[in-house]
Structure 1
Amino acid sequence: MGGAFTRYRAIAWIVGVALVVLVLIGMPLKYVFHDDTVVAVVGTAHGWLYMLYLAATFDLSRRVDWPLKRMLLVMLAGTVPFVSFYAERRVTHWLAAEQPRTPEPVAG
């Protein structure tokens, strides 16, 4: 599960940053200044990266046995600006809560 979780966290941040750049920088440049360069480049990149996000989310959800509803909601998080960051934090907390706590060894 560790590798799947690391892959999910990395791609969640990458997709989140790409979407924020697209919406907060690319869209104003396109509609205010009529320059669609950022939208063309970052929009295409976000589309491909979102596919990786979906695959990473699916992989993680199957490994930790999430219900279908949770998996779908986390998958949709990559489509709304800033929500992938929130979802990544929630997933981190969910998985931390599911990990069994092992007592720390006491030095003697």
Structure 2
Amino acid sequence: MDKLFRIVALLEGVSYLLLMFLGMPFKYLKDDPQFVKMFGMPHGLLFIGYVVLAFVLKSHYKWNNKNFFIVLLGSIIPFGTFYVDRKFLR
């Protein structure tokens, strides 16, 4: 389960960056929503998976409420999941 969470965290972080730094500029600067459509659904599923796995693994990692909040916050801040992986999952 640990390895799965790390993989989901990595993929969620990459999908978020692709959505923010490729999809959004194309949508609003080029008026082309193709990349948002392409990256949006996978990112949404990975985000939900990340949050669910964080709740499942909270007791395994013995995160206190502050650390658990940081882990959850990592899913909505660009590059956050990479920080969480380095700080809490290794």
Aligned: 1:78 with 2:79? no
Q: Distance in 1 between matches of 2:60 and 2:11?
A: 22
Deviations 1:27-57 (A, max 9, x none): 1110111100111221222111101001111
Q: Distance in 2 between matches of 1:71 and 1:13?
A: 18
Aligned: 1:9 with 2:6? yes
Structure 1-normalised TM-score? 0.76
- State the superposition RMSD in angstroms: 1.3
Matches within 5 A, 1:64-75: 64-75=61-72
Secondary structure of 1:81's partner? coil
- In structure 1, runs of 5+ residues without a counterpart are 94-108
Equivalent pairs: percent with the same residue?
31
Q: How many residues are paired up?
A: 90
- In structure 2, runs of 5+ residues without a counterpart are none
| One of 80, 85, 90 as aligned partner of 2:87 | 90
**Residue equivalent to 1:106:** none
**Residue equivalent to 1:53:** 50
Q: Which runs of 4+ in 1 moved over 4 A?
A: none
Read off the aligned partner of 1:39 and give its amino acid letter.
Answer: V
Q: Distance in 1 between matches of 2:79 and 2:62?
A: 25
Secondary structure of 1:34's partner? coil
- Higher-Rg structure is 1
Read off the aligned partner of 2:34 and give its amino acid letter.
Answer: T
